[in-house]
Structure 1
């Protein structure tokens, strides 16, 4: 083999070795790969943590599951008092014959979902600061009048006004009175729905 050819080959091999050495030195000097940025702090009770959807989007035709029982949403009341809004949703209550079951959803400022069951309270009316029902003492929390619009089946007119009086007891228990258009009082007891226990199946 010609000596010049051998010299060229040796030069190429030397250049290749130099390139490999330079790349290895650069990798070592670069240090370990930077760690991923820590996730930003976030609200543990934010709506996206709700199992199976955001309660604020519930509407007639949806299905909700609570404590292992599924219910269809028959209709909704959208209520407004000043700049404050909230919703109440009537469910089909096949497991509780003749009794209305509702879910209320509001933000004040945190998202609060309450499960309501209609109650026959006899002559009890919201005319005192404290009321006792079934051995539980409730203390009056709010009293006001709101405008409402009805969607689907609710038992109320398409639009109107409703007066409400809300009572609260320890342990996330509630007693509420409502009367539509100055009619008779309707009462219900409520319990706060723990975060992540309500599953929502959107309707078509």
Structure 2
């Protein structure tokens, strides 16, 4: 047998022995234990929404659940004034007018509003009294809007607003769309997690 052949045979023998050693070592080591099952109960439909959802992503067709009460977003207004943007989402109600406002400033601020068309009231003063509650003017301005879904407004336009605050998170607001008349509404500030969002697709 030539020296070259001897070297080749030795290399093959050493390689086979090394592979056999590694395989035997791997087999001798115990297998890792299987993962323990998670005892926490899980909602099988939990992937359709987060625990409360993202209010900044609301759109027409989404469902909101306020405890035992459910409502659907019929349409939305996307509003902008300078570098500020916010949204108003109109909700399905049997009668009247109700909506949710959402603004990032920089934290998310939300309020649930109810229209009060019967009021003969305009934002003519820095303080106003309504139903025994005194409100003070906090902000007023002019913004542009873009309409989505059912809002009762044009696709695009402009609006004026005046916002008042009272005690215990009570709110009073006036809006005037496309140079129309002032529309008063009362509202209540909401905290994140006050409702659950179910996306409409």
Measured against the shorter chain, the TM-score band is 0.7 to 0.9
In structure 2, how many angstroms separate the alpha carbons of the residues matched to 1:176 and 1:67? Answer: 25
In structure 1, how many angstroms separate the alpha carbons of the residues matched to 2:113 and 2:67? Answer: 14
2:104 aligns with 107
Q: Contact (CA 8 Å) 1:119, 1:188: kept in 2 or not?
A: yes
Does 2:118 match 1:118?
Answer: no
In structure 2, how many angstroms separate the alpha carbons of the residues matched to 1:111 and 1:122? Answer: 30
2:164 aligns with 167
1:193 aligns with 190
1:52 aligns with 52
Superposed displacement of residue 121, structure 1: 4.9
Specify every segment of 5 or more residues in structure 1 that has no aligned partner in the other structure, as ranges.
1-49
Does 2:90 match 1:90?
Answer: yes
Matched residue of 2:56: which SS? helix
Superposed displacement of residue 67, structure 1: 3.8
Normalising to structure 1: TM-score of the pair? 0.72
RMSD between superposed Cα atoms in Å: 1.2
Deviating runs (4+, > 3 A) in structure 1? Answer: none
What aligned pairs does 1:1-204 form with structure 2 within 5 A after superposition? 51-94=51-94, 97=95, 99-204=96-201
Matched residue of 1:196: which SS? coil
Q: How many residues align?
A: 152
Give per-residue Cα distances to partners, 1:89-111, cap 9 Å, x unaligned.
000012xx2x1000000012211
Matched residue of 1:116: which SS? strand
Normalising to structure 2: TM-score of the pair? 0.73
Change (3 A) 1:124 1:144: same
Q: Contact (CA 8 Å) 1:117, 1:188: kept in 2 or not?
A: yes
Matched residue of 1:166: which SS? strand
In structure 1, how many angstroms separate the alpha carbons of the residues matched to 2:116 and 2:79? Answer: 22
In structure 2, how many angstroms separate the alpha carbons of the residues matched to 1:194 and 1:83? Answer: 24
Q: Contact (CA 8 Å) 2:121, 2:184: kept in 1 or not?
A: no
Q: Contact (CA 8 Å) 1:51, 1:198: kept in 2 or not?
A: no
